[in-house]
Structure formats: C-alpha cells, structure tokens
Structure 1
Amino acid sequence: MLILGRREGDSILVGDGVRIVVVSCDRSGVRIGIEAPSSLKILRGEIAEQVAKENQRAASTPLGSEWLAALGTPAAPVFPPTAPGTSA
C-alpha cells in the first residue's frame, strides 16, 4: 500500500486517465474527487463489500418453490368489457 501526504487541491494520478483530487480536509475527514473515464466502475469499498456479501448469501440460498409460493400466484388477466352488440 502506498501512503501519501496530500494537501487540499493536490492530486494523485493512477494509471491512464484516473486523477484523485483532495477537495477539502477538516476534523471530520477528507473529501476527495475522482476524475476517471465513464467506462471505469468506481465504488466505495463498503458498498462493494455489501454487494459481495449479498451475492454470497443469495448464492447459498436453496432455490426451491417456497420463495415462488411466497410471492403468490399471478392474478388472472382482466379484459375490458365489450360494448353491447359487439362480439368478442
């Protein structure tokens, strides 16, 4: 892990086209800005971990008919009434 000291307004370049800028610093923390190509996915670490845990939980759940039953059966389609004198 590379640890750098940066001040407000300083930036760090990562690879081709990724720039991390220190926007502000105070006692509550550091605000950073990330400039990157739109094709690059950027996620906060805690969100990526939460998604990974949920994917693992979903993969370990047995796929039975119980969850389908919990959703209920689909309702019968409702057709608009036909006008008198017309055939359906």
Structure 2
Amino acid sequence: MNGVAAPRLTDTSYAVLALVDLRGPATPYQLKQLAQVSIFHFWSIPHTQIYTECSRLAEAGLLDERREETGRRRRIYRISAAGRKALN
C-alpha cells in the first residue's frame, strides 16, 4: 500500500467511469453528449461536473488522461485498470 487513500466514489464518479468504459477514449465534451442521449433522460449531471469529475478520477488513477499535442489540446480520458476494477 502506498499510503494514498482511495478516492470517495460518488454516483457521478460511477456514471463518468461507466460512460468512459462504454464509449472508450473521450473528451469531457464527448461524455456530456453521450450522457445527453442516455442517462440524462432519468438523471441529470451538470455538464461542468463531468469536467471536474474526469480530472478528479484521473488524479486518483481511475482514468488515464492524455492531451492532444496540437489544436485545442483537449484532454482525452480512457478508463484505467483501477477504474474498471472500481466498476466491478
């Protein structure tokens, strides 16, 4: 154990992890679009919360983050092994 406490996972955490797992590598904007046609019908997540939750989950090691090297330098998230384990 490395002494780092496991992050507290909320309903939003699980929703974001599941969306990334379902879609594959995605930007927070792409996750917002996916949420609008899927879970927003019964549970609305503020779009700003998707952005902050992606960053928080990446810091916790549950999502892997990559930045585009050119253009808008968007952040692209992919589920990590630890993130997949948290879903199970």
Q: Which has the higher helix share?
A: 2
Q: Which has the higher strand share?
A: 1
Q: TM-score, normalising length from structure 2?
A: 0.22
Q: TM-score, normalising length from structure 1?
A: 0.22
Larger Rg: 1
Higher relative contact order (CA 8 A, sep 6+): 2
